[in-house]
Amino acid sequence: MNNNDIVKVFAPATVANVTCGFDILGFPLENVGDVLTLKVVKEKQIRITKIEGFDLPYEASKNVAGVVIQKLVEDLEIGFGFEVEIEKGVKPGSGIGSSAASAAAAAFAVNELAGRPLKTKELVKYAMEGEKLASGISHADNVAPSLVGNFILIRSYDPLDIIRLDSPADLFCTLVHPHIQVNTKDSRKILKKQISLELAIKQWGNVAGLITGINLSDYNLIGRSMNDVIIEPTRSILIPMFDKIKEASIRAGALGCGIAGSGPSVFAFSKGKKMAMAVNDIMREIYRNIDINFDLYVSKISPKGAFVIKNGN
């Protein structure tokens, strides 16, 4: 390698949990994410030189991308340093994997400049270091889909076992991000530490049904299974108009509706783009009526995760 080695990487925003799959299910969105530029430098240090979009720490040890790069440099015994530029396309606190997008892009970029010594799935554990810094928990349901693409099931965390599931061809996601901030650490603190066996059985059935529905492209089964009886009842109180959005979306024909990650974003699945756009209009109207600023996205489940935008000078 030489001092002119440089790579620009895109990593997509993601929806974690997918209603009933807390910490074990996630998928990436199309056309929204973070861009990270990584440049090799002689000095063996990591310097974040530019952050666009949001006010985030420049100190590498306090930045999610920085800690991911540090860990990879250490484990791969890389003998040079990096300059880092981050373009934030995913708002922090949005519930669609802001920290995960930066962490995934960082892991992918380092691996690219190091000659790809690691497989993409092997990068997930490094990207999880960024999630640990951001939320205190090393969860993979955002970083794994942001790196690998498509639906991701984390079958196990110890050892880490990641399974990629192809999305049904006509499955669309409509997502609204109200401009309020829900901190992931705080939203985890309010969750119950224990649940009844009865609720656990219901949740297990829904998770199994959702995964089966995805595998069989059974849209009705996907819809019947999008029922979170453990996390949503607690977290939904943090999201303005959640119940109304969910009820109106399903009444209009959406397969199901739930919280994206820790919120405040809310997503719905639909069969076909026409229905997804109708749900988009419903979400827009609800938030317009209560005078909350918001962003709206209509997307298929992205079949790819992080990728190189530009290699070299």
Residue 142 CB coordination number (10 Å):
37
Residue-level pLDDT at 185: 63
Task: Please state the pTM of the whole predicted model.
Answer: 0.93
Residue-level pLDDT at 2: 43
- Class for the domain spanning 6-165+302-311: alpha beta
Residue 42 CB coordination number (10 Å):
10
Catalytic residue among 120, 131, 174, 232: 131
Higher per-residue pLDDT: 94 or 311: 94
Contact between residue 126 and residue 140 where contact means Cβ atoms under 8 Å apart:
no
Higher per-residue pLDDT: 4 or 252: 252
The structural domains of the chain, with segments of one domain joined by +, span 6-165+302-311, 171-300
Say if domain 171-300 classifies as CATH 3.30.70.890. Answer: yes
Torsional sign, CA 137, 93, 152, 202? positive
Residue-level pLDDT at 3: 42
Nearest to 153 by CA among 26, 29, 268: 26
Residue 313 pLDDT > 70: no
User: What's the mean pLDDT in 72-101?
Assistant: 95
Residue-level pLDDT at 187: 63
Nearest to 120 by CA among 6, 9, 3, 31: 9
Residue 298 pLDDT > 70: yes
Residue-level pLDDT at 191: 73
User: What's the mean pLDDT in 216-227?
Assistant: 98
Contact between residue 305 and residue 148 where contact means Cβ atoms under 8 Å apart:
yes
Q: What digits encode the pLDDT tens for the residues 183-200?
A: 666 666 667 788 999 999
Residue with tokens 């974040």: 48
Mean pLDDT over each residue of the chain, to the nearest integer:
94
Catalytic residue among 37, 120, 174, 184: 184
| 184 noted as active-site residue | yes
Q: What digits encode the pLDDT tens for the residues 30-57?
A: 989 999 999 999 999 999 999 999 999 9
| 37 noted as active-site residue | no
Burial class (CB in 10 A: 0-12, 13-18, 19+), 197: exposed
Split at pLDDT 50, 70, 90, the class of 135 is confident
- % of the chain residues with pLDDT over 70: 95
DSSP H or E run through 309: strand 307-311
Residue 1 pLDDT > 50: no
User: What's the mean pLDDT in 229-237?
Assistant: 91
